[in-house]
């Protein structure tokens, strides 16, 4: 037996809005990802009840292999804020992270979103690279600025940098 992930090339990945019943699987995924802030399973159950239309899960069969939570900013309804996103490590599905975000962003673009925002640590190079891929996919500009200093966040160990991507252009 090797340590290689199972090969899932050509696997049928479905993207859908989450349901409250998906909360425990997503919560467990977050617990396994040290770069994500953990929330309670109750948080995800409420989120998937109240913000399902701005969130998404990726599934293979009955298994959730990725998720994204987001919302439209009340003070800027043309802005889609991505709160958390993750895919299962070693899932063997090439490009799953970007595909998940593109499906979610396309859904929001169809309902009037023009910008995507998220905050991230500068240390999270993988997500920073993914955000640049999103900007390229939508032929959009990327603006960054410090959103919150680490010392302003109790227990925070890094600054939160805001990435604002847009205006978004439909994919061709």
Per-residue pLDDT of 91-107, as tens digits, reads 889 999 999 999 999 99
At a CB cut-off of 8 Å and minimum separation 6, what does 157 contact? 150
Which residue ranges make up each domain of the chain?
Answer: 14-166
The whole-angstrom separation of Cα 129 and Cα 152 is 26
Query: What single-letter DSSP state applies at residue 36?
Result: S
- Residue 124 tokens read as 């999270």
Residues 57-65: what's their mean pLDDT?
95
| Residue 106 host element (H or E) | helix 96-109
3-state SS class at 135: helix
CATH topology of domain 14-166: Aminopeptidase (3.40.630)
- Look at the pTM and tell me if it is higher than 0.85: yes
Handedness of CA 17, 51, 124, 109 (dihedral sign): positive
Residue with tokens 């709160």: 83
Least confident of 8-12, 48-52, 66-70, 123-127: 8-12
| Residue 116 host element (H or E) | strand 115-120
């Amino acid at each position: 037996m090797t340590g290689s992930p199972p090969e899932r090339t050509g696997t049928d990945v479905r993207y859908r809005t989450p349901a409250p019943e998906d909360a425990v699987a997503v919560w467990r995924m977050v617990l396994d990802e040290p770069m994500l802030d953990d929330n309670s399973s109750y948080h995800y159950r409420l989120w998937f009840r109240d913000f399902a239309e701005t969130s998404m899960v990726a599934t293979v069969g009955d298994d959730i292999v990725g998720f994204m939570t987001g919302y439209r900013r009340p003070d800027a309804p043309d802005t889609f804020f991505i709160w958390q996103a993750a895919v299962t490590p070693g899932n063997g599905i090439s490009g799953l992270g970007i595909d998940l975000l593109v499906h979610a962003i396309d859904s929001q673009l169809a309902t009037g979103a023009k910008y995507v925002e998220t905050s991230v640590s500068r240390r999270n190079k993988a997500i920073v690279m993914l955000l640049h891929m999103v900007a390229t996919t939508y032929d959009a500009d990327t603006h960054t600025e410090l959103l919150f200093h680490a010392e302003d966040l109790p227990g925070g160990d890094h600054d939160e940098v805001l990435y604002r991507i847009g205006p978004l252009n439909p994919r061709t």
